[in-house]
């Protein structure tokens, strides 16, 4: 898989398009701070700096989802505490109004939910103009077909593999059908876009997600409930890489 901005390097390895680090594959592992210790967010982020590709930051507003997490002021401070690129996942109402602030603050990617956006394409253009990647997020009960045609406006497609709102839920394998549909669509249209899965990703589920065609993996509990979060990231990556290498 070729990522926009990616470069080939010696030995079949690639150079990460954002961090310039040489990585073993083009897969992305993004630990979610939702499962981290919120009193020590900076340390928790730095604990995975050497192993993770992105830091997944879940913003919830108690309206789009029942849960409430952090907002822009915390994200702005956390950005200064780590070198990791931020994969900001907005589970909020009215992203048309609020999402740009997260791009302007310096997020690498900003994903908003299509269920909440009034003008997804317009917002994607504004996010890109503000310097971030644009991500389209699809919740559990939303079909993907109506949105395939707007994918050229996006850099990432986040497919929930649970119902958005809480960490620690059970992975729903039936939602991988959306990943397969999206992967087929991208292949037929020669579109370059990350397909990211979020929810219940762990050592016993990541392979199925990779087989379905995901190439970016969010993991909260599987990383931050582990004794060694950095090692948990490496183990997840190895499992997903084995699928890609074998396929």
User: Choosing from 61, 87, 198, 215, which is the catalytic residue?
Assistant: 198
User: Choosing from 53, 58, 139, 215, which is the catalytic residue?
Assistant: 58
Could you say whether residue 178 binds Zn ion (CB under 5 A)?
no
Q: Is 199 annotated as a binding residue?
A: yes
Q: Is the dihedral of CA 100, 26, 213, 220 positive or negative?
A: negative
CB nearer to ligand DX5: pick between 95 and 165: 165
Q: Cα torsion at 220, 223, 229, 231 (round to 10°)? A: -150
Which residues between 136 and 195 bind ligand DX5 (CB under 6 A)?
Answer: 162, 164-169
CA distance 87 to 182: 20
CB nearer to ligand DX5: pick between 64 and 154: 64
CA distance 81 to 151: 32
* Partner from ligand DX5, Zn ion, none binding residue 164, C-beta < 5-8 Å depending on class: ligand DX5
Rg of the chain, C-alpha, whole Å = 16
Could you say whether residue 53 binds ligand DX5 (CB under 6 A)?
no
Determine whether 87 is an active site residue.
no
Which residues between 102 and 131 bind Zn ion (CB under 5 A)?
Answer: none
CB nearer to Zn ion: pick between 23 and 87: 87
Closest by CA to 200, choosing from 154, 236, 242, is: 236
Query: Which 3 state secondary structure label does DSSP give 174?
Result: helix
Determine whether 58 is an active site residue.
yes
**What are the DSSP calls for 93-114, one per residue?**
S-HHHHHHHHHHTT-SEEEEET
Q: Percentage helix, strand, coil, to 5, in the chain? A: 40, 20, 40
Q: Which stretch binds ligand DX5 (CB under 6 A): 3-11, 44-52, 98-106, 218-226?
A: 218-226
Q: Residue 36: how many CB atoms within 10 A of its CB?
A: 22
Q: Per the annotation, where are the binding residues for a divalent metal cation?
A: 56, 58, 89, 198
Binding site for Zn ion (CB under 5 A): 58, 89, 198
Known binding residues are 32, 56, 58, 89, 165-168, 198-200, 220-221
Residues that bind ligand DX5 (CB under 6 A): 32, 34-35, 56, 58, 89, 162, 164-169, 198-201, 218-222
């Amino acid at each position: 898989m070729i990522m926009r901005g990616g470069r080939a390097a010696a030995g079949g390895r690639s150079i990460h398009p954002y961090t310039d680090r040489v990585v073993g594959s083009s897969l992305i592992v993004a630990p979610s701070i939702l499962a981290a210790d919120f009193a020590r967010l900076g340390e928790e982020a730095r604990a995975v700096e050497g192993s993770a590709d992105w830091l997944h930051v879940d913003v919830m507003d108690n309206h789009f989802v029942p849960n409430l997490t952090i907002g822009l002021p915390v994200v702005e401070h956390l950005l200064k505490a780590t070198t990791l690129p931020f994969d900001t996942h907005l589970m909020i109402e009215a992203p048309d109004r609020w999402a740009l602030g997260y791009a302007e603050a310096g997020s690498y990617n900003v994903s908003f939910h299509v269920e909440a956006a009034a003008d997804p394409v317009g917002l994607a253009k504004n996010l890109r103009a503000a310097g971030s990647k644009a991500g389209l997020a699809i919740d559990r009960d939303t079909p993907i077909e109506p949105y395939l045609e707007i994918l050229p406006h996006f850099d990432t497609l986040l497919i929930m593999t649970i119902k958005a709102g809480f960490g620690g839920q059970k992975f729903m394998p039936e939602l991988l059908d959306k990943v397969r549909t999206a992967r087929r669509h991208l292949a037929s249209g020669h579109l370059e876009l990350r397909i990211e899965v979020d929810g219940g990703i762990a050592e016993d589920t990541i392979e199925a997600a990779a087989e379905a065609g995901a190439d970016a993996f969010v993991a909260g509990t599987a990383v931050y409930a582990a004794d060694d979060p950095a090692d948990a990231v490496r183990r997840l990556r190895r499992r997903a890489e084995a699928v890609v290498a074998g396929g």
